Amino acid sequence: MVQLPSFLCSLILSTVSASSLSPRQSTATQISTQKSIENLAMRSNGLLLATNMASSTLYLIDPIAKTTKSSIVVTGASGLSGIGEIAPDVFAVIGGNPGKSVYKVDFSGASPSSSLIATIAGAGNMNGLAVLDPDTVLLGDATKGQIWKLTISTGKSEVAIQDKTMQDPGFGIDGLKYANGTVWYTNLLKDSFYKIPVDSTGKATGTPTAIWTNTMGDDLCFGPNGHVYVSTNSGKNSVVDYDPVAGKESTLVTVAGATSCAFGRTDKDRDTIYIGGSGGVYELDVKI
């Protein structure tokens, strides 16, 4: 991105096996009743963007007023999933059901606009999206068990990484994020979470390392404390906080059907995690 969100901080993670977890913080506060949220992204103005795989509407949530409205209907998309900021207030979002297309949604003008970046005919069902640089996104293909690389300015795509850890006959690679030369990804139905080193082009420079292999992981986000937060969907109905220094994880909070998370970007909510779930969107102040 031109201006990286604050959560893309330096991360040094070690391998750990998931263990029996119990919540360590209070119940999260519901800020939206919009159901079946798939993915979240924070705008720099403090407003939250939310996607739904069954809707072409990109929802806009005000965490302060606790209101939800349609920000824009992405024309041509029958559903929306992974989303990431590629330039100030400009986002790339996966569209389609199954996801085969990537759209640009621009909030930098007087009114929001959307346009098709590319349709990847060879894709199966892309779900997770990670921003590699201002002109490149990585896309996790859950049915083909691979990561696509898409150049935004040209619409050119190619398979960047393919590995058995990303595969599952039903739904494999799901959550996908990039930071500082490392790609982090979950395999939803194989209850696993991995990292893999990559070069500046998104190609793997090593083999995957398993962080855990016995806890369901959906989407993930990076906290300002350098921790990695992983939503566990219906596996544990929670968000797991992985501490890279201690080399262990704990359940941050319980949220039914937790699918996604994002940290705030304003001075008032940088320590607040927003969580998408089956019953709505929630917020929790993280004790850092």
What percent of the chain shows pLDDT beyond 70? 91
- Show the domain range for 107: 29-285
Residue 277 lies in a domain: yes
Model confidence pLDDT, tens digit, residues 102-122: 999 999 999 999 999 999 999
Residue 130 lies in a domain: yes
Binned at pLDDT 50, 70 and 90, residue 246 comes out as confident
- pLDDT over 90 at 186, yes or no: yes
Mean pLDDT to the nearest integer, 223-248: 92
Mean pLDDT to the nearest integer, 211-235: 96
Binned at pLDDT 50, 70 and 90, residue 244 comes out as confident
* pLDDT score at 24: 58
Mean pLDDT to the nearest integer, 184-192: 97
- pLDDT over 80 at 18, yes or no: no
Residue 99 lies in a domain: yes
CATH number at 249 reads: 2.120.10.30
- pLDDT over 90 at 94, yes or no: yes
Mean pLDDT to the nearest integer, 5-22: 36
* pLDDT score at 23: 57
Cα torsion through 6, 12, 17, 22, rounded to 10: -40
Residue 17 lies in a domain: no
- pLDDT over 90 at 279, yes or no: yes
- pLDDT over 70 at 10, yes or no: no
What percent of the chain shows pLDDT beyond 90? 87
Query: Considering the chain, what is the average pLDDT of its residues?
Result: 91
Mean pLDDT to the nearest integer, 272-280: 96
Instruction: Provide the domain count of the chain.
Output: 1
Residue 171 lies in a domain: yes
Binned at pLDDT 50, 70 and 90, residue 2 comes out as very low
Binned at pLDDT 50, 70 and 90, residue 202 comes out as very high
- pLDDT over 70 at 211, yes or no: yes
Model confidence pLDDT, tens digit, residues 129-141: 999 999 999 999 9
Residue 19 lies in a domain: no
Structure tokens that stand for 269 in this block: 């909510």
Model confidence pLDDT, tens digit, residues 27-76: 899 999 999 999 999 999 999 999 999 999 999 999 999 999 999 999 99
| φ and ψ at residue 102, rounded to 5 degrees | -125, 130
* pLDDT score at 243: 87
Residue 107 lies in a domain: yes
Residue 5 lies in a domain: no
